[in-house]
Amino acid sequence: MISVLIVDDHTMFRKGLREVLSSAPDIKVLAEASDGRAAMEELRKTPIDVVLLDIQMTGRGGLDTLDEIRRLYPETGVLMLSMHPVEQYGVRAIKRGALGYLTKERTPYELIDAIRVVASGRRYVDAMLAQQLAEEIGGGGVERPHERLSDRELRVMLMLARGRTVREIAEDLCLSVNTVSTYRARILAKMMLRNNAELAYYAVKEGLIS
């Protein structure tokens, strides 16, 4: 039996995942967590085969939680779930140690298949992510401006591109307004852009947001 921990800050989404996975006779959801800290507490209490980890949660993000899981529980497979396309975080997640990256629009059958693959210790990647990984390894890809950003900078950039204010971002990420303003300035400098409007245009053009 494959034991699963669901980590997502949306209660209804966790409930939906639990219902979907209940149809698989070889998969059992043993625990749920609404954020990274709660996830680590569950892992300390319960042996888990696969963690379904949302990449963007309030406060501590999924990638930071992934780092801690890989450090403390290297035998546990992590399947990242995201509403964002592969282009945004797919390669980053795999390079950080995730065994798979799945967008939330995928079918229940794909999710169940991905869990089984990850539980066996293998990587679950779709064709687009496989191509990106091949380019990364082979050096065939040209670095795009947003790829120069750190994980936290990328997260802030996408929020700015969607029209969120600095104050709203600070509240959502549990940071000070000054810290987010510093991130914004650093992002604009690294990407050689001038303002939020140019950030939004870039994000849409590159397919990072719709």
Q: pLDDT digit string (tens) for 169-190? A: 999 888 899 999 999 998 998 8
Kindly indicate the confidence band of residue 208, based on its pLDDT and cuts at 50, 70 and 90.
Answer: confident
* Percent share of the chain, pLDDT over 90: 48
Work out the average pLDDT over 69-84: 91
* Contact present, 203 and 161 (Cβ < 8 Å): yes
Work out the average pLDDT over 119-137: 71
Domain covering 2-138 assigned CATH 3.40.190.10 in the classification: no
Instruction: Check pLDDT > 90 for residue 136.
Output: no
Q: What is the pTM of this model?
A: 0.69
Chain region(s) in the chain for CATH 1.10.10.10:
145-205
Place of tokens 């996975």: 21
Chain region(s) in the chain for CATH 3.40.50.2300:
2-138
pLDDT for 75 equals 93
* Contact present, 78 and 101 (Cβ < 8 Å): no
Mean predicted lDDT score pLDDT of the chain: 87
Work out the average pLDDT over 113-119: 94
Residue 76: CA count within 13 A, CB half-sphere: 27
pLDDT for 117 equals 93
Instruction: Check pLDDT > 70 for residue 141.
Output: no
For 36-47, how does the pLDDT look when each residue is reduced to its tens digit (9 = 90+)? 999 999 999 999
**145-205 has which fold?**
Arc Repressor Mutant, subunit A (1.10.10)
* Contact present, 186 and 145 (Cβ < 8 Å): no
Kindly state the tokens that stand for 51: 């963690």
Work out the average pLDDT over 92-105: 86
